[in-house]
């Protein structure tokens, strides 16, 4: 990047708080970042000085380019403190972009305000490897999560209101209202209901021509309340909304119903934002979302409710990827934010495609020129490889047609000691002794967790680099243990990285390894591309796909399908939805469904309690054991640390 202006780091030890580091760096104007990234002036829409939306036109304009290198950052089974995956993503981008002077994009998810004000804090990376300004990153950015919430909840309101009206009105009254009379006496079909009219094979010109039976078919979705899977969402950790009874006011005439809220980032609309490939594709996916079944067993969709156009209108700006920058001024795409435990855990296909083209090379150049000119897109999958990474490969890559060139697995001495039998690590409490002093034996035992993630990743035919995210209490002997275990498990390399303390220069060795690996220059690497999915979607049953993930990835001995799940399998199979990939919601703190099982549990019985159909997103969503789809707040919460100072700056986000 010849015109790239690097923001110089002013490294300080001990490392100050994230928000102090962020505040002390003056970012470039976002239009400058965009220009340096190859985005044209009319393709960027600034939102304030440091954030912008990028039009999808970029992808078309650069379609002839060969993609840049696609680097997937994943991790080991984490502690509640996180093991620095986002920090590594950003640090690596700073190293490749600012130190090596190559094009490098960090592609990350928009953080949810649930964890931001709960326990976890910000998600912009940390220390000297951050997205800045970190307070803007951790608040609304350009409002995409809010748009997702509105779209999700409009559909919920439409569904419940429709049921209310169907229960309180006769066919003719519903028909008169749904197809209002025009001045000339004819009747109008609202544009949003035309797809349903077409699906039912009715006359689209004149509702007055419909028979009584046809009128009834049109006006009655006849939802079976027991089958409703669509829940409302809020982007907060509000445990009180997990289970609620609605329609409890007198105006709703006793039509109470049990339901609940999920966190917004678990919404199917969020998954669609992450997986869609164009505005048209998003529109179609939103229309296909299934909210319930009718009493006769037919799926009821967003399109049936006449909502899909409105949802698309709400989401029409959210579909444009957001651009920000790292602490060293390299570009960052922040787009979509599905959680990796209760959703697919990946940033958007569109941001990745856009970045891969911007980092790409023109056709017709030599291999050497290509190596010289190729840029890097470092994209993150949430939680550990076996959760976020598995979904990235089996769901996101299946949807995008892309495959990563390198998989990075981020490991820390701390988390591996947990897997070697160390005491529980809690947010907000001082670390037990074993995490503050050398303990090679405990660490060696814990490396089994890392080894399992490496071998899981290798199953997809992609080479693995282990990034050892250095912490101040680590020793060289401990790093040697991790390195040895990584190579023994089949990693191409394992490299210590100190980007939290030193920014991009701390990730210099890691960047070198990643570049080398992306160009297949390690002697151990095959020159072939061997990418493959874990399972095929066609021709295998829902059970078989879930079993493939649970047994081959998680190490389960068997899968137990609880009654609700069995019923759903029958229902979805009969509705023709069995050919979809699977997203399993489960705890992020173990390979298994049980957060207490550290290391590499095997042979356990893996319980699937329910399955939902995310037909718009394009997968079935299986809920393991007692996984919650909206977190709660702790007694002492992140929000209690937050204040806005006299200069209007946010303090206390970490």
The region of 236-244, 529-537, 549-557, 612-620 touching a second copy under the rule CB under 8 A is 236-244
Nearest to 355 by CA among 144, 104, 131, 28: 104
The DSSP H or E segment spanning 69 is strand 69-75
Least Å from the CB of residue 645 to a second copy: 10
- Given the complex with a second copy, which of 22 and 379 has the nearer CB atom? 22
CA–CA separation, 19 and 7 (whole Å): 17
Least Å from the CB of residue 120 to a second copy: 14
- As a whole number of Å, the end-to-end CA separation of the chain is 31
Considering only residues 156 to 215 of the shown chain, the ones binding a second copy according to CB under 8 A are: 156-158, 160-161, 164-165, 169, 174, 177-183, 190-193
Least Å from the CB of residue 471 to a second copy: 15
Q: Rule CB under 8 A: choose which of 150, 271, 358, 481 binds a second copy.
A: 150
- Given the complex with a second copy, which of 180 and 576 has the nearer CB atom? 180
- Given the complex with a second copy, which of 178 and 518 has the nearer CB atom? 178
Least Å from the CB of residue 132 to a second copy: 16
- By CB under 8 A, residue 428 contacts a second copy: yes
> Which residue has tokens 């995210």?
469
Considering only residues 317 to 336 of the shown chain, the ones binding a second copy according to CB under 8 A are: 317
Six-digit token string for 604: 């356990």
- By CB under 8 A, residue 115 contacts a second copy: no
**With b meaning 16 or more CB within 10 Å and e meaning fewer, what string describes 200-212?**
eebeeeebeebee
How far CA 153 is from CA of 22, 156, 264, 651, in Å, comes to 34, 5, 10, 32
Least Å from the CB of residue 483 to a second copy: 30
- By CB under 8 A, residue 117 contacts a second copy: yes
Q: Rule CB under 8 A: choose which of 27, 28, 47, 95 binds a second copy.
A: 47
Considering only residues 282 to 311 of the shown chain, the ones binding a second copy according to CB under 8 A are: 283, 306-307, 309-310
Least Å from the CB of residue 223 to a second copy: 13
Least Å from the CB of residue 614 to a second copy: 22
Least Å from the CB of residue 59 to a second copy: 14
Q: Rule CB under 8 A: choose which of 81, 279, 425, 595 binds a second copy.
A: 279
Least Å from the CB of residue 167 to a second copy: 12
Least Å from the CB of residue 83 to a second copy: 21
The region of 94-102, 227-235, 456-464, 482-490 touching a second copy under the rule CB under 8 A is 227-235
Nearest to 445 by CA among 590, 598, 591: 598
- What residues contact 523, with CB distance under 8 A and at least 6 apart? none
Residue 246 DSSP symbol: E
Q: How many CA atoms lie within 13 A of 261 on its CB side?
A: 21
Q: Rule CB under 8 A: choose which of 238, 298, 544, 625 binds a second copy.
A: 238
Least Å from the CB of residue 54 to a second copy: 12
> Which residue has tokens 């046809």?
214
- By CB under 8 A, residue 245 contacts a second copy: yes
Tell me if residue 133 falls in helix, strand or coil: coil
CA–CA separation, 625 and 589 (whole Å): 14
Least Å from the CB of residue 1 to a second copy: 25
- By CB under 8 A, residue 142 contacts a second copy: yes
- Given the complex with a second copy, which of 421 and 632 has the nearer CB atom? 632
Least Å from the CB of residue 30 to a second copy: 10
CA–CA separation, 79 and 383 (whole Å): 10
- Given the complex with a second copy, which of 422 and 631 has the nearer CB atom? 631
Sign of CA dihedral 288, 294, 297, 298: negative
Considering only residues 582 to 641 of the shown chain, the ones binding a second copy according to CB under 8 A are: 628, 632-641
- By CB under 8 A, residue 60 contacts a second copy: no
Least Å from the CB of residue 10 to a second copy: 24
Six-digit token string for 313: 């209108």
- Given the complex with a second copy, which of 156 and 413 has the nearer CB atom? 156
Q: Rule CB under 8 A: choose which of 72, 104, 154, 451 binds a second copy.
A: 154
- By CB under 8 A, residue 242 contacts a second copy: yes
The DSSP H or E segment spanning 605 is strand 605-614
Instruction: Please say whether the beta carbons of 400 and 277 come within 8 A.
Output: yes
Q: At what angle do helices 279-288 and 268-275 cross, to 10 degrees?
A: 150
- Alpha carbon 252 to its chain's center: 37
The interface mask with a second copy, positions 61-100, x = CB under 8 A, is: ----------------------------------------
- Given the complex with a second copy, which of 258 and 484 has the nearer CB atom? 258
- By CB under 8 A, residue 469 contacts a second copy: no
Bridge partners, 640 (sequence order): none
**With b meaning 16 or more CB within 10 Å and e meaning fewer, what string describes 572-599?**
beeeebbebbbbbbbbbbbbbbbeebbb
Considering only residues 484 to 513 of the shown chain, the ones binding a second copy according to CB under 8 A are: none
- Judged by CB under 8 A, the number of residues near a second copy is 97
Q: Is 521 buried (19+), middle (13-18) or exposed (0-12) by CB count in 10 A?
A: exposed
Considering only residues 561 to 580 of the shown chain, the ones binding a second copy according to CB under 8 A are: none
- By CB under 8 A, residue 147 contacts a second copy: yes
- What residues contact 366, with CB distance under 8 A and at least 6 apart? none
- Given the complex with a second copy, which of 304 and 384 has the nearer CB atom? 304
The region of 245-253, 345-353, 504-512, 544-552 touching a second copy under the rule CB under 8 A is 245-253
Q: Rule CB under 8 A: choose which of 16, 461, 490, 652 binds a second copy.
A: 652
Instruction: Please say whether the beta carbons of 151 and 269 come within 8 A.
Output: yes
C-alpha radius of gyration, the chain, whole number? 25
Q: Are strands 558-561 and 582-585 parallel, antiparallel or unpaired?
A: unpaired
Instruction: Please say whether the beta carbons of 135 and 22 come within 8 A.
Output: yes
- By CB under 8 A, residue 367 contacts a second copy: no
């Amino acid at each position: 990047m010849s015109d790239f202006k690097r923001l110089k780091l002013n490294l300080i030890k001990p490392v100050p708080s994230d928000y102090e580091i962020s505040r002390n760096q003056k970012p470039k104007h976002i239009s400058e970042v965009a220009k340096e990234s190859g985005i044209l002036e009319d393709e960027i829409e600034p939102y304030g000085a440091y954030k912008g939306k990028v039009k999808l036109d970029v992808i078309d304009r650069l379609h002839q380019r060969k993609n840049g290198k696609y680097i997937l950052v994943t991790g080991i089974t984490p502690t509640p403190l996180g093991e620095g995956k986002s920090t590594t993503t950003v640090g690596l981008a700073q190293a490749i972009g600012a130190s090596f002077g190559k094009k490098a994009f960090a592609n990350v998810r928009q953080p949810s305000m649930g964890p931001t004000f709960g326990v976890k804090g910000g998600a912009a990376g940390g220390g000297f490897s951050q997205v800045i300004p970190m307070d803007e990153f951790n608040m609304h950015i350009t409002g995409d999560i809010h748009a997702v919430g509105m779209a999700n909840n409009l559909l919920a309101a439409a569904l419940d209101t429709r049921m209310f009206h169907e229960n309180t009105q006769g066919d003719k009254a519903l028909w008169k209202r749904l197809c209002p009379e025009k001045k000339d006496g004819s009747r109008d079909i609202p544009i949003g209901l035309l797809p349903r009219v077409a699906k039912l094979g009715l006359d689209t010109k004149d509702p007055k021509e419909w028979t009584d039976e046809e009128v009834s078919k049109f006006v009655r979705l006849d939802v079976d309340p027991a089958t409703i899977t669509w829940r409302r969402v809020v982007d907060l950790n509000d445990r009180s909304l997990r289970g609620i009874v609605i329609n409890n006011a007198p105006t709703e005439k006793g039509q109470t119903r049990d339901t609940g809220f999920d966190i917004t980032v678990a919404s199917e609309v969020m998954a669609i934002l992450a997986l869609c490939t164009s505005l048209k594709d998003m529109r179609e996916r939103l229309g296909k979302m299934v909210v319930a079944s009718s009493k006769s067993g037919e799926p009821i969709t967003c399109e049936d409710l006449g909502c899909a156009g409105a949802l698309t209108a709400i989401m029409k700006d959210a579909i444009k990827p957001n651009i920000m920058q790292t602490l060293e001024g390299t570009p960052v795409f922040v787009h979509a934010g599905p959680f990796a435990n209760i959703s697919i855990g990946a940033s958007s296909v569109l941001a990745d495609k856009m970045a891969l083209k911007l980092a790409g090379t023109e056709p017709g150049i030599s291999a050497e020129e290509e190596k010289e000119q190729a840029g890097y897109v470092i994209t993150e999958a949430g939680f550990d490889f076996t959760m976020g990474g598995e979904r990235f490969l089996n769901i996101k890559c299946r949807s995008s047609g892309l495959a990563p060139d390198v998989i990075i697995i981020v490991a820390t001495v701390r988390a591996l000691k947990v897997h070697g039998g160390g005491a529980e690590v809690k947010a907000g409490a001082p670390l037990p002794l074993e995490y503050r002093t050398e303990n090679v034996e405990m660490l060696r035992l814990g490396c089994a967790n890392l080894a399992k993630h490496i071998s899981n990743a290798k199953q997809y035919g992609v080479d693995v680099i282990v990034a050892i995210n250095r912490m101040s209490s680590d020793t060289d002997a401990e790093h040697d243990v991790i390195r040895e275990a990584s190579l023994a498990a089949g990693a191409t390399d394992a490299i210590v990285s100190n980007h939290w303390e030193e920014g991009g220069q701390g990730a210099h060795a890691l960047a070198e390894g990643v570049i080398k690996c992306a160009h297949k220059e390690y002697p151990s690497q095959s020159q072939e591309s061997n990418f493959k999915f874990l399972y095929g979607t066609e021709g295998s049953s829902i059970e078989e796909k879930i079993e493939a993930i649970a047994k081959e990835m998680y190490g389960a001995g068997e899968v137990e399908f609880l009654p609700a799940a069995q019923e759903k399998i029958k229902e979805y199979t009969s509705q023709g939805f069995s050919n979809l990939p699977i997203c399993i919601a489960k705890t992020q703190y173990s390979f298994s469904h049980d957060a207490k099982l550290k290391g590499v549990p095997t042979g356990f019985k893996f319980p699937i309690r329910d399955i939902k159909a995310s037909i718009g997103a394009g997968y079935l969503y299986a809920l393991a054991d007692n996984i919650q789809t909206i977190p709660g707040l702790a007694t002492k919460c992140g929000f209690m640390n937050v204040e806005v100072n006299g200069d209007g700056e946010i303090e206390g986000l970490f």
